[in-house]
Structure 1
Amino acid sequence: MPVHKAVVSASVGLHARPAAMFVRAVTETGLPVSIRKAGIQGVDARSLLEVMTADFPFGCEVELSVAEGALNGPVSHSGAEAALRMLARLLESQGAS
């Protein structure tokens, strides 16, 4: 299962606009991405409601992952890793949001 870590850099955390931008980017990958932080079970990163209610504040380290079963389709393991890297960069570049 591909996994990538990132730190939430948006000053408001993953709420409102930064969360919507992140969820939109996840949805565009076409992959079932999960996002989690220490102490909570992962949530569906394609769901704005789940992402916002999970409370990912500024400076929070998160783990992004794609279920192994999702890689049986047209997306390869390396393609999923590239998608997770892109999503991690998005989370880490939202400091001006």
Structure 2
Amino acid sequence: MPQRTVTVASKVGLHARPAALVAKTAAAQAVPVTIARNGGTPVPAGSVLNLMTLGAGHGDEVVLSAEGEGAQEALDAVAELIASDLDGSD
């Protein structure tokens, strides 16, 4: 099962707006994507509530996993968002 470790770039972590953007992208993928804080239990990444309850803050590492055809592309899409500053506070 492909996995990717990503550092959360948003200053507010995976909360509010960043969580909504990541969940929307994860839900749109061809395969289910899961996310876990380093060492934690994986949860579906397509749920805003799941992302917010992870408690992943700025600088924390999360592990993304996906399985099936298109898993690498799904991980790429979700990892790119998590590694971006999604705060929208330019």
Stretches of 4+ aligned residues off by more than 4 angstroms: none
Amino acid of the residue matched to residue 3 of structure 1? Q
Give the TM-score of the pair, scaled to structure 1.
0.82
Amino acid of the residue matched to residue 91 of structure 1? I
Which secondary structure does the structure 2 equivalent of 1:94 belong to? Answer: coil
Which secondary structure does the structure 1 equivalent of 2:28 belong to? Answer: helix
1:82 corresponds in structure 2 to: 73
Q: Percent identity?
A: 40
Which secondary structure does the structure 2 equivalent of 1:29 belong to? Answer: coil
**Distance in 2 of aligned mates of 1:53 and 1:86:** 21
**Distance in 2 of aligned mates of 1:96 and 1:54:** 18
Cα RMSD for the two superposed structures = 1.4
Structure 1, unaligned runs of 5 or more: none
Structure exhibiting the larger radius of gyration computed from Cα positions:
1
1:38 corresponds in structure 2 to: 38
Note the C-alpha offset of 1:56: 0.8
Q: Between Structure 1 and Structure 2, which shows a larger proportion of helix residues?
A: 1
**Distance in 2 of aligned mates of 1:38 and 1:12:** 18
